[in-house]
Amino acid sequence: MFFYRNYSGILLEMYENVKIRIKAELNPTEDAVKVEEAIRNVVPSARVRVVEEAHFKYVVGEAEGLKALEHMKVKLKARRIRDAAKAAMLKWMEPNRVVIFLNKQVSFAGNISFSEPYGESPLGPIMVEIETEDPKSVIDWLTSKEST
């Protein structure tokens, strides 16, 4: 459900049922703190922890609300990659979620670069899963050319 607030003449939209999960495999040669930083460079408000699943270690972050994605929206605008971002997000959109893959090394450096789920990045990608009742609206918001 969208909530609308008029704030200094700007219409702000907040989506209450957005859940974000960020996950990156922690390779034996990687520093967990650096992978955590890469995740926080995408979603700064994420609660991050290291988990072990089936003999693999992962760094996992979780956050709620559209506000958690504002940093990503700003990065997409600053890098002028909103159209490419929209295409990447629509490619992996499902009825109740969108999954995107980001280059881990680029994220650590503080930028955003989309990746394929396998084979493109030697360290593996960061997977960002956005669960929502209306993924298309979230994609449109993230990639809109209007100011936030």
Do the domain assignments include residue 10?
no
Do the domain assignments include residue 8?
no
Over residues 94-113, mean pLDDT: 92
Report how far residue 143's alpha carbon sits from residue 16's, in angstroms, rounded to the nearest whole number.
19
Other Cβ atoms within 10 Å of 89 Cβ, number? 23
- Whichever domain contains 113, its CATH number is 3.30.1440.10
Query: pTM for this one?
Result: 0.84
Do the domain assignments include residue 1?
no
| Domain around 59 | 18-143
The pLDDT value given to residue 15: 57
pLDDT tens-digit series, residues 114-123: 887 877 778 8
Do the domain assignments include residue 77?
yes
Do the domain assignments include residue 148?
no
Token pair of 52 as six digits: 């072990």
Other Cβ atoms within 10 Å of 66 Cβ, number? 23
CA 96 to chain centre: 15
Report how far residue 119's alpha carbon sits from residue 4's, in angstroms, rounded to the nearest whole number.
41
Q: How many domains does the chain have?
A: 1
pLDDT tens-digit series, residues 38-79: 999 999 999 999 999 888 999 999 999 888 999 999 888 887
Do the domain assignments include residue 4?
no
